[in-house]
Chains A and B, each alone.
Chain A
Amino acid sequence: MLAKRIIPCLDVTNGRVVKGVNFVELKDAGDPVEIARRYNEAGADELTFLDITASSDNRDLILHIIEAVASEVFIPLTVGGGVRAVGDVQRLLNAGADKVSINTSAVTNPQLVKDAADRYGSQCIVVAIDAKRTGDHWEVFTHGGRKATGLDAIEWAKRMESLGAGELLLTSMDRDGTKSGFDLELTRAISEAVDIPIIASGGVGNLQHLVDGVREGRADAVLAASIFHFGEYGIDEAKKYMKQHGIEVRL
């Protein structure tokens, strides 16, 4: 049976992982390659790197990181952040990324999603949707949640699927950083509206939230950062907990 996936997310800026990662005996807490290796050994099903580098001078650093990680970690690698053109997708794939996540540029230039999916296949195109509750619906935001788009998140998810997205990374801006759990209503609404897999993100504070994301939110995968980084929970521990609650996982 297909397993639900657990995906740790690493925020990278200027070639270093930020937000701190707290593994026992980690020599260099900011080294993305060492952290990726640890998560791989701990049983992560995939890894997501979010490049939040502000300066264009240092943008190529993520390529070197992905090259290094892909040479020794043989699980799917997703990279997002600053993907604006088909050429960006190509550079990341050539460096060893398996999937590329497109966020703001999907809104400013939806054709990019179609062009990239046509050229490299839907399987490697993830569209990241940042959604925030506005009245009785959810609205898509861009630029890290700062900019409202007026787009309805459910309609937007369907449109991205029709343009060729192979997967959606859905983040609740209301829940992100709150540790109060996923926005389950949002996750379920999007998951039921499309046929492609949904990765739930934003708000995980404990292991029950992961279970809820899958069972109540109908997510196909769950993404989390801080609960794993700070060593509150291990990947293995999370998977065992999910299994105890009847969720199929890779152990």
Chain B
Amino acid sequence: MSVDIAVIDYGMGNLRSVSKAIEHVAPAATVAVTSDPAVITAAGRVVFPGQGAARDCMREIDARGLRQAIVDAARSKPFLGICMGMQVLFEHSEEGDTACLGILPGSVQRFPHEAMHDGRGNKLKVPHMGWNNVHQVVPHPLWTGIEEGARFYFVHSYFVQPASPEVIAGFSHYPFPFTCAVASANMFAVQFHPEKSQNAGLTLLGNFVTWNPGASETACDMSGAACA
């Protein structure tokens, strides 16, 4: 039996928070935390979380034979990347000089040490950890009901630099503007942790589980619970 929502488990970090938050916003949906490519391929929609180092993430993805299933899902059904699950969608990460999935053109780089001060003599810490304002660049179904500039919870030392500015859906400042959300067709990815961002985060996840990008045959509306 295929599940409504697959949360991809590739051994990088704690996925309990993600699956609990998804279950909270989609109580009628079947949610599977899985490392089985077949389950991911058959799922109605896919969440791709992840924490840790880019090189380890890519190694674990390949060790589990998940690369193709992730690439296919990102191109065919409602797909949400979170944190490292956003970064590895790009071509290359400076972290460990790592070749990534290359689904989106662009790269991932570290907050540069020389830039990390607030202009008032205060050092800015890395990781960028805590609640920061997210500015919405484009209207998108996943931003529905979320105030422009709403705060989300971040914890990361690297950020994405998309080669195509048209995929940028949101940005934040630390201290310079950096991309914290990207959108392309059926794919949405965020640097922050919606599962840890209280009401704003739950709203975004709730939007995701009912999102129908329309362009894809496999996309379906979770609220109708008719994804069998």
Contacts and interface: CB of A to CB of B under 8 A. Distances in A.
Contact of A76 (B116, B156, B174, B196): B196
A74 B125 contact: no
A197 B130 contact: yes
Contacts of B14: 93-94, 96-98, 120, 124
Interface in B109-132: 113, 116, 122-132
Interface string B26-63: 00000000000000000000000001110000000000
B145 to A, nearest CB: 16
B16 interface: yes
Interface stretch (B2-10, B70-78, B160-168, B197-205): B197-205
Contacts of A74: 17, 20-21, 24, 195-198, 201-202
A85 interface: no
A3 B12 CA distance: 27
A97 B16 CA distance: 9
B133 A1 contact: yes
Interface string A72-115: 10111000000000000000011111100000000000000000
B155 A45 contact: no
A14 interface: no
By secondary structure, the B interface counts as mixed
Select the residue from A3, A166, A167, A195 with max chain B CB neighbours within 10 A.
Answer: A195
A120 B17 CA distance: 14
Interface in A162-176: 166-167
Nearest to B153: A76
Contacts of A167: 129
Nearest to A215: B122
A250 B151 contact: yes
Interface residues of B, number: 38
B17 A70 contact: yes
Interface in A213-251: 218, 220-221, 250
B191 to A, nearest CB: 12
Contacts of B128: 2
A71 interface: yes
Contact of A123 (B125, B155, B174): B155
Nearest to A251: B151
Contacts of A93: 14, 16
B129 A192 contact: no
Contacts of A195: 113, 116, 123, 125-126
A22 interface: no
A16 interface: no
A95 B14 CA distance: 9
Given A93-B14, A218-B122, A98 B130 contact: no
Contacts of A72: 24
A121 B53 contact: yes
A5 interface: yes
Contacts of B214: none
Interface of A: 1-5, 40, 45, 70-72, 74-76, 93-98, 120-124, 166-167, 191-192, 195-198, 218, 220-221, 250
Given A3-B130, A197-B125, 16 more contacts: A2-B131, A2-B132, A5-B130, A74-B17, A74-B20, A74-B197, A75-B197, A75-B198, A76-B196, A93-B16, A120-B51, A121-B13, A124-B51, A166-B127, A166-B129, A191-B123
